[in-house]
Structure 1
Amino acid sequence: MRSGLYIAAAMIIAGLLANIVLGDPGYVALRFAGRLIEMSAVTFGLVLIAGYFAVRLLIKVITARRAWKEAQEARRHERARRSFAQGILELSEGNWEAAETTLTRNVREAEYPAAHYLTAARAADLQGAAERRDELLQRALEVAPDRRAPALVMQAEVLLKHKQLQAALTTLEQLEATKEQNARGLLLLARVYRQLGDWQKLQALEPRLRSTRGITAAMADETVAQVHLDRLKDAGTQCDLNELKAAWKETSRSLAKHPEIVVTYARASMACGDHEAAESALRDCINKQWNESAVLAYGELETDEPLKTLDRAEGWLAEHGEDAALLFTCAQLATRAELYGKARSFLETSIAIRPRLEAYQLLASLMDQLGERERSVKALNDALAFAVGRKANLPKIRARRFQERRQSDRRRS
């Protein structure tokens, strides 16, 4: 419909122009190189149109060879793109050998050959072909000398995967030297520092982790938190109180509020014999944010004033009276305060709400020390049943017969 209107409008305009031209064809005179060229306006218009098409034809003839080369190059790039797409699909399907072959088939014709080599290196690594993988990574570095970061990052990831920490560190240091460091490279570098236990370099890297685009605050916190966790655990393992205090002092205020870090610091303090510092840190953490791990750690305290510690724990029962972890903690503290009846009551209530092996074990030990051997044995049997998931299905009649046989055997002897 629309094309028909355009044709009709063109015919009307052409008819009007023809009518005008026939009435007065016009006159054009040109003087060129001392000669006078005269023609009608219609002829001049036709000459201009013919000249325009002649120039276009000449341009096409001149650029024909270049256009042919560009078309050939476009076809080669298209073949490479199809090979890359096919290789990605084969890699996703788990056909790694075919993916490696497909990705390297038209790599010389690819617009970005480094991408082909890097993906093929991934396929080779999945096959366990370390030599081919390293060769492909080296080719990726050679074809893109001005952009080495992707190949170096992948190489570092592969080395970390195979626990080659020093080699991964060397690779990441090369990446640092190229000034092409990115978010992934920084995270890998932090991971290497953490696994090597190089706390100073890791702490020096923290500002860059927080300022680099692509690394969220949560990712930076997780990395730095692990640094402090490892350092606190290491100080507790070595029972080095001075190192523990230094590590806790260097922990930022935001991280010092995380329950996991507080619990780690508290257990390290207990290992170093500083139960008062552990109690203070755990109490502040529990008052600000109720956390079961912190509550359970509070029950491990061996302070100089166990009654005072127990009173503080019992103060939380007003709001958390049905919390099995808190009841178990109170039971532990009550045993240290030598309030065995209260400890038994706490343990039985805790087990009734939510059984745990530690509660059964403590109850069995408590009953044994109090001389209640049958109750102790029952607690141990209940613990075994809880661990296994069911009680032993032993018919009583057989047990009676066994006892009768033993009694008869004793009488005969």
Structure 2
Amino acid sequence: MKSGLYIAAAMIVAGLLANIVLGDPGYVALRFAGRLIEMSAVTFVLVLAAAYFAVRLLIRIFTARRSWKTAQEARRQERARRSFAQGILELSEGNWETAENTLTRHVREAESPAAHYLTAARAADLQGASDRRDEWLARALEVSGDRRAPALIMQAEVLLKHKQMQAALATLEQLEATKEQNARGLLLLARVYRQTGDWQKLQALEPRLRSTRGITAAMVDETVAQVHLDRLQEAGSKCDLTELRAAWKETSKSLARHPEIVVAYARASMACGDHEAAEAALRDCINKQWNESAVLAYGELETDQPLKTLDRAEAWLPEHSDDAALLFTCAQLATRAELYGKARSFLETSIAIRPRLEAYQLLANLMDQLGERERSLKALNDALAFAVGRKANLPKIRARRFQERRLTDRRRS
């Protein structure tokens, strides 16, 4: 419809121009190189149009070879892009061998050959073909130019996956030297330091981790937590109070709020004989964030004022009266305060809510020391049944029948 309207409008305009030209065709005179060239305006317009098309034709003839090369290059790059997309789909489907072949088929024609080589290396690694994987990674590094970070990071990931820590560390140090380090590379470097136990380098790396965009505080805490735990536990095992205090002081505020870190510090302090510091850290942690591990650790305290420690633990009971861990902790503290009746009550209530072997053991020891042997044996039997998961299915032995059988057996012998 639109084409017809355009044709009709063109015919009308052409008719109007024809009438004007026929009435007065115009006159054009040009003087060139001492000669006068005369022609009508219509002829002049036709000559200009012919000259324009002739110049266009000459330009196309002279640039035909370059245009042909450009078109060929565009077709090759398009083929490579399609090959890359197909390879990604095959890799996602689990066709790793096919994907590897597809990704490397047109890699020389690709606009970014490093992407093809890196994805092919992933496909080879999934097949367990380490030789081909290393070859593709090496080629990716060759063609990466100034941007070597993607290839180095993938190489480090692969090495970490196969527990080759020193090789991964060398790769990541090479990445550091290129000044292309990013969030992923820093996290991998921190992971290597953590797994090799090099807490000093990890601690030096921590400020960079916290200041790097793309790395959250939770990710940093998770990465460095184990190193701080190891350091606190090591100080506790050596009973080195000076080293313990230094390690606790160097622990970041965000990590010092984690219950597992606080519990590790508290137990290390107890091992070093500083129960007061352990009590203060555990009490502060429990008041801010209720945690069963911290509550149980509180029961291990042996402070100079056991009654005061027990009072502090009992202050949590109104809000946590049904907490078996807190009741067990109160029982331990009551035992140290020599309040044995209260300790027994706490233990029996704790076991009734949620049995635990430690509670049975403490109850058995308490009853034994109080001279209640039967109650002590019952607690041990209950503990054994709890550990096994059921009581022994033994029929009741009738004493008279048992004695009669023993007499009969003796007579026969």
User: Would you say same fold, with TM above 0.5?
Assistant: yes
1:245 is matched with: 245
Opposite residue 247 of structure 1, the aligned amino acid is: A
The within-5 A match list for 1:212-361 is: 212-361=212-361
Show CA shifts across 1:204-257 (max 9, x none).
Answer: 212221222222233223323343223222322333222111011112233322
Cα pair 2:263 2:294 within 8 Å, conserved: yes
How far residue 387 of structure 1 moved from its aligned partner, in angstroms, is 4.8
Q: Could you say if the C-alpha distance between residues 45 and 180 of structure 1 is closer, same or farther in structure 2, counting changes exceeding 3 Å?
A: same
Identify if the C-alpha distance between structure 1 residues 228 and 10 changes in structure 2 by more than 3 Å, giving closer, same or farther.
farther
Per the TM alignment, residue 264 of structure 1 is displaced from its structure 2 partner at its CA by 1.7
Query: Number of matched residues?
Result: 409
2 CA distance for matches of 1:407 and 1:4? 122
CA distance in 1, matches of 2:10, 2:226: 77
Mapped to 1, the partners of 2:50 and 2:265 lie a distance apart of: 90
Equivalence for 2:90: 90
Q: Which runs of 5+ in 1 are unaligned?
A: none
Match of 1:182 in 2: 182
Q: CA deviation at 1:177?
A: 1.0
**Could you state the TM-score of these two structures normalised by the residue count of structure 2?**
0.89
Number of the residue aligned with 2:38: 38
* Residue 135 of structure 1: how far off its partner (Å): 1.9
> In the aligned structure 2, how far is the partner of 1:304 from the partner of 1:258?
27
Structure 1: distance between partners of 2:12 and 2:103: 60
**What letter corresponds to residue 41 of structure 1 in structure 2?**
A
Moved more, 74-83 or 135-144: 74-83
* 3-state SS of 2:133 partner: helix
Deviation (angstroms), 1:297 = 1.5
| Partner residue in 2 for 1:198 | 198
The aligned runs of 1:143-182 (5 Å cut-off) are 143-182=143-182
Structure 2 Cα separation of the partners of residues 227 and 337 of structure 1: 36
Change (3 A) 1:381 1:84: farther
Tell me the distance in 2 between the aligned counterparts of 1:145 and 1:176.
16
> CA separation of 1:158/1:369 partners in 2, compared to 1, >3 Å: closer, same or farther?
farther
Which residue identity is paired with 2:124?
Answer: A
How has the CA–CA distance of structure 1 residues 405 and 68 changed in structure 2, closer, same or farther, with 3 Å as cutoff?
farther
Cα deviation for residue 107 of structure 1 reads 1.9
- Identify if the C-alpha distance between structure 1 residues 7 and 216 changes in structure 2 by more than 3 Å, giving closer, same or farther: farther
- Give the structure 2 partner of residue 129 of structure 1: 129
AA at the equivalent of 1:21 = V
Identity across aligned pairs (percent)? Answer: 86
Shift in alpha-carbon separation, 1:122–1:238, aligned structure 2, 3 A = farther
Shift of residue 303 of structure 1? 1.7
The SS at the match of 1:319 is coil
The residue that corresponds to 2:139 in the other structure is 139
Q: Hey, what's the Cα distance between the residues in 1 that align with 2:375 and 2:78?
A: 80
CA contact (8 A) 2:122 2:133 kept: yes
Q: Which residue of 1 aligns with 2:50?
A: 50
Shift of 1:185: 0.9
Does the C-alpha gap of structure 1 residues 342 and 110 become closer, same or farther in structure 2, counting only changes over 3 Å?
A: same
Q: 1:19 — aligned with what?
A: 19
Deviations along 1:230-288, one digit per CA (max 9) or x if unpaired, are 32223223332221110111122333222222122112212222211111101111122
Cα displacement (A) at 1:157: 1.3
* C-alpha RMSD of the superposition: 2.5
The alignment partner of 2:79 has SS state of helix
Displacement of 1:369 in angstroms is 3.8
What's the offset of the Cα at 1:3? 4.3
1:257–1:81: structure 2 CA closer, same or farther, 3 Å change rule? same
Which consecutive residues of structure 2, in runs of 5 or more, have no partner in the other structure? none
Q: Which stretch of structure 1 is more off in the superposition, 21-30 or 237-246? A: 21-30
State the 1:173 CA deviation.
Answer: 1.0
Equivalent AA in structure 2 for residue 400 of structure 1: I
SS at match of 1:31: strand
Q: Measure the CA separation in 1 of the matches of 2:400 and 2:96.
A: 69
d(CA) in 2 for partners of 1:400, 1:11: 122
Partner Cα distance (2:175, 2:362) in 1: 55
Cα distance, 1:184 vs structure 2: 0.9
Local SS of the residue matching 1:349:
helix
Aligned partner letter, 1:342: K
CA deviations over 1:287-331 (Å, ceiling 9, x no partner): 222222221221121222222111100011122222222122112
Alpha-carbon separation, structure 2, partners of 1:386 and 1:15: 109
Q: Pick from 397, 400, 405 the counterpart of residue 397 of structure 2.
A: 400
Q: Normalising to structure 1: TM-score of the pair?
A: 0.89
Structure 1 CA distance for aligned equivalents of residues 386 and 57 of structure 2? 92
Q: Distance in 2 between matches of 1:273 and 1:159?
A: 44
Q: Within 2, Cα distance between the matches of 1:393 and 1:18?
A: 118
Question: Do the aligned partners of residues 8 and 201 (structure 1) sit closer, same or farther apart at CA in structure 2, a change above 3 Å counting?
Answer: same
Pair 1:35–1:282, CA change in 2 (3 A): same
C-alpha distance 59-375 of structure 1, shift in aligned 2 (>3 A): farther
Within 1, Cα distance between the matches of 2:58 and 2:136? 47
Q: Does 1:410 align with 2:406?
A: yes
Deviation at 1:187, TM superposition (A): 0.9
- C-alpha distance 195-47 of structure 1, shift in aligned 2 (>3 A): same
Distance in 2 (alpha carbons) for counterparts of 1:357 and 1:319? 25
CA change 1:48–1:316 in 2 (3 A) is: same
| AA aligned opposite 2:17 | L
